[in-house]
């Protein structure tokens, strides 16, 4: 073990922070227990601000002095830096947060009717002369309100798809790290960490599936990996793929056709953000619990988790459907994971 080093330890809601001088991880835990009045019989975990759990002396020794560690009981979740900042901003009633809440309130009632009205205002994209324009120089109005260095519509839409997939990855990691099995079982935690590392690597290779919204990429008639094909036609028109339990959109014809071309105008681009990449087998209700079950089963049977199965369910249109908000069913989906695919 190294010499005496000083660290900061805080509780789950960060209402109290204490300094602890120690020579080992176990000594830090024992001293922090006393300061936070936690009995020796109660299980505790230590994690960093980015969610990394610290449960190994070798890793602990790599941490610099004055590192902030969060001590958690099994039922506790740590507040992220973003949550703390948001709570602080709400406390001072900043105008932009109030405005954001008013917008949210506007869309929280009679949403489908309001979206139909907005879609009518956007109009028919196929007849718009601007739809085939691409660069910021050609159609500067389309880029208004965007804080981006992207020089083309295709680059903006590519990054928009990436953001959605990155969001799924972040939410999945966050939910797994907050789960009971991850907190209390080191072997399960290792299985989950291995699984997520593999997924992160595959997402990087696939460029976080930015291809989904990029009209310049390969379409249905293209060659190569089918999972890397765009979800729109050559002009950039997207059509609703239907509710999770339907083969096609029920509004595929008639005046209320569910189709949009975000490349056509700034209004259409903004409205497209309300279209959803919906998980047929639900991410939070079904896939994440299945991943935890698979990790626990892998530990018990001394096998490996088939991470590629869950990767497909979380990030690819093997399980994702692009849907208009009217076809986005938020009730419980009956589609389930296949337990025979959990392990290798």
pLDDT beyond 80 at 97? no
Span 109-129, pLDDT tens digits: 555 555 555 554 444 444 467
SS3 (DSSP) at 152: strand
Domain 5-78: CATH class, spelled out? alpha beta
Determine the average pLDDT of the residues in 247-264: 82
Whether the per-residue pLDDT at 327 is higher than 80: the answer is: yes
Mean pLDDT of 235-245: 94
Q: Name the pLDDT band for 203 (thresholds 50, 70, 90).
A: very high
Mean pLDDT of 134-139: 92
Look at residues 108, 109, 107, 85 and name the one whose alpha carbon lies nearest to residue 97: 85
d(CA 60, CA 193): 17
Positions of CATH 3.10.20.10 in the chain: 5-78
Cross-strand pairs, 259: 239
pLDDT of amino acid 255: 55
Outline where the chain has alpha helix (H). 25-35, 57-60, 81-91, 95-107, 111-122, 153-177, 180-184, 186-205, 266-272, 288-301, 307-315
Burial class of residue 180 in the structure, from the number of CB atoms within 10 Å of its CB (0-12 exposed, 13-18 middle, 19+ buried): exposed
Using CA atoms, how far residue 132 sits from 86, 142, 216, 258, in Å, is 40, 12, 11, 20
pTM (2 decimals)?
Answer: 0.70
* pLDDT value at residue 85: 53
């Amino acid at each position: 073990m190294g010499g005496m080093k000083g660290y900061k330890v805080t509780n789950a809601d960060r209402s109290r922070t204490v300094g602890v001088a120690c020579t080992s991880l176990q000594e830090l835990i024992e001293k922090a227990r006393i300061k936070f009045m936690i009995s020796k019989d109660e299980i505790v975990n230590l994690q960093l601000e980015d969610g990394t759990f610290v449960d190994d002396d070798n890793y602990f020794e790599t941490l610099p002095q004055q590192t902030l560690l969060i001590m958690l009981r099994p039922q506790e979740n740590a507040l992220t830096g973003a949550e703390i900042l948001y709570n602080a901003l709400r406390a001072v009633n900043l105008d932009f947060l109030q405005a954001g809440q008013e917008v949210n309130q506007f869309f929280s009632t009679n949403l489908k009717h309001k979206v139909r009205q907005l879609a009518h205002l956007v109009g028919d994209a196929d007849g718009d002369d601007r739809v085939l324009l691409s660069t910021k120089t050609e159609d500067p109005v389309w880029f208004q309100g965007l804080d981006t260095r992207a020089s083309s519509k295709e680059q903006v839409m590519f990054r928009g798809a990436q953001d959605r997939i990155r969001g799924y990855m972040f939410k999945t990691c966050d939910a797994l790290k907050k789960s009971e099995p991850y907190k209390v079982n080191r072997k399960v935690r290792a299985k989950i960490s291995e699984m997520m590392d593999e997924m992160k690597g595959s997402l990087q290779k696939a460029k976080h599936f930015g291809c989904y919204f990029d009209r310049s990429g390969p379409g249905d008639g293209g060659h190569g990996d089918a999972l890397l094909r765009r979800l729109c036609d050559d002009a950039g028109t997207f059509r609703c793929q239907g509710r999770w339990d339907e083969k096609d959109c029920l509004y595929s014809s008639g005046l209320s056709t569910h189709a949009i071309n975000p490349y056509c105008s700034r209004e259409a681009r903004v409205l497209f953000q309300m279209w959803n990449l919906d998980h047929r087998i639900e991410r939070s209700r079904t896939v994440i619990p299945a991943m935890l079950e698979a990790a626990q089963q892998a530990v018990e049977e001394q096998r490996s988790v088939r991470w590629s199965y869950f990767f497909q369910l979380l990030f690819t249109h093997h399980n994702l459907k692009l849907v208009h908000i009217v076809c986005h069913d938020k009730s419980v989906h009956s589609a389930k994971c296949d337990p025979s695919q959990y392990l290798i």
